[in-house]
């Protein structure tokens, strides 16, 4: 029953988010600030993780290719498929659930604890729209982060495979182009958009409806990370089943 109540409350929150809109000029500034906080602030860690994950995938694949009948170019093929289909969109989103999700939950939760959300409501402002809508719009730029992640993941794989002496550059480029299906990119970006919405709204729900004090803000951040990850994984499974099977 608690879960059903929470799911209902989440959808009611979404209805409120798209209710009475905040003044345009104010909203514009809020969106730009959220892009800076949520997207720009995450680029560093995303770039770092993507590069090294790509490198590790390439090394692992190369070390497991003992059969001389299997072409060396498979290293690049495996790295490309892993990075585009799962590592960039899904793995990075789980990392973002920890970084961006916790930030959203704790910032909104702190506002709840210190009555700042009540202050917005008393002023006649739709607090759900003011606080959550700019985050959703800012997260629409999240696919750019994932595109960068894909590029750096493959660049990492190239560096590790070629500089590590597992394959030469031509073999890697050949493997990278081998049996490329453009729809896989479409699939990856469709789920990235869905993940962006989840990353903005599930942590916002946990922050907005939290009760208690500073300790509960910490608990809400942890719960938010767990549930955002669960929703991401379930959505990933559903989208993959729908689009690829």
Partner 1 sequence: MIQVKNLHKGFNGQEILKGINYTFERGKTNLIIGQSGSGKSVFLKCMLGLFKADKGTIEYDGKPYSTFSDEEQRELRTEMGMLFQGGALFDSMTVEENVMFPLRMFTKQKKSEMLARVNEVLERVNLEGNGNKMPSEISGGMQKRVAIARAIVNKPKYLFCDEPNSGLDPQTATVIDNLIQELTVENDITTVLITHDMNSVLEIGERIAFLKDGLLAWKGTKEEIFKTDDASVTDFVYSSNLFQKVRKAQLKGL
Q: Which of 1, 4, 69, 123 binds partner 1 (CB under 8 A)?
A: 123
Applying CB under 8 A, what is the total number of residues that bind partner 1? Answer: 18
Residue of 51, 76, 52 whose CA lies nearest to 62? 76
129 binds partner 1 (CB under 8 A): no
Residue of 98, 85, 240 whose CA lies nearest to 153? 85
For residues 221-241, b (16+ Cβ closer than 10 Å) or e, as one string? beebbebbbebbeebbeebee
| Token pair listed for 75 | 């290293």
* CB-nearer residue toward partner 1: 37 or 86: 37
Please enumerate in sequence order all residues whose Cβ is within 8 A of that of 47, keeping only pairs 6 or more positions apart, or say none: 148, 149, 152
**Alpha-carbon dihedral of residues 113, 117, 123, 129, nearest 10 degrees?**
180
* CB-nearer residue toward partner 1: 3 or 15: 15
* CB-nearer residue toward partner 1: 118 or 170: 118
Place of tokens 């680029």: 43
Binders of partner 1 in range 19-48 (CB under 8 A): 19-20, 22-23, 25-26
Binders of partner 1 in range 58-117 (CB under 8 A): 110, 114-116
Residue of 105, 7, 95 whose CA lies nearest to 52? 95
Q: Which of 32, 43, 122, 226 binds partner 1 (CB under 8 A)?
A: 122
Q: Which of 14, 45, 94, 125 binds partner 1 (CB under 8 A)?
A: 125
Q: Which one of the spans 14-22, 56-64, 76-84, 185-193 is the region binding partner 1 (CB under 8 A)?
A: 14-22
By CB under 8 A, name the binding residues for partner 1. 19-20, 22-23, 25-26, 110, 114-116, 118-119, 121-126
């Amino acid at each position: 029953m608690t879960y059903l109540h929470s799911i209902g409350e989440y959808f009611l929150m979404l209805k409120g988010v798209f209710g009475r809109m905040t003044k345009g000029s104010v909203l514009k500034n809020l969106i730009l600030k959220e892009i800076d906080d949520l997207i720009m602030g995450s680029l560093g860690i995303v770039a770092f993780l993507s590069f090294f994950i790509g490198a590790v995938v390439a090394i692992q694949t190369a070390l497991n290719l003992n059969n001389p009948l299997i072409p060396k170019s498979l290293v690049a093929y495996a790295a490309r498929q892993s990075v585009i289909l799962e590592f960039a969109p899904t793995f990075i989103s789980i990392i973002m659930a920890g970084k961006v999700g916790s930030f959203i939950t704790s910032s909104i939760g702190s506002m709840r604890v210190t009555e700042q959300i009540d202050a917005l409501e008393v002023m006649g402002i739709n607090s759900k729209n003011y606080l959550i809508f700019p985050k959703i719009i800012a997260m629409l730029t999240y696919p750019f982060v994932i595109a960068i992640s894909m590029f750096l993941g493959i660049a990492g794989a190239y560096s590790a495979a070629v500089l590590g002496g597992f394959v030469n550059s031509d073999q890697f480029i050949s493997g990278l182009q081998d049996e490329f299906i453009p729809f896989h990119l479409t699939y990856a970006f469709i789920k990235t958009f869905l993940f962006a919405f989840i990353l903005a709204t599930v942590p916002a729900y946990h922050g907005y409806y939290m009760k208690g004090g500073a300790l509960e803000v910490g608990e809400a951040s942890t719960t938010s990370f767990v549930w955002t990850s669960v929703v991401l994984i379930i959505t990933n499974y559903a989208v993959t089943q729908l689009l690829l099977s």
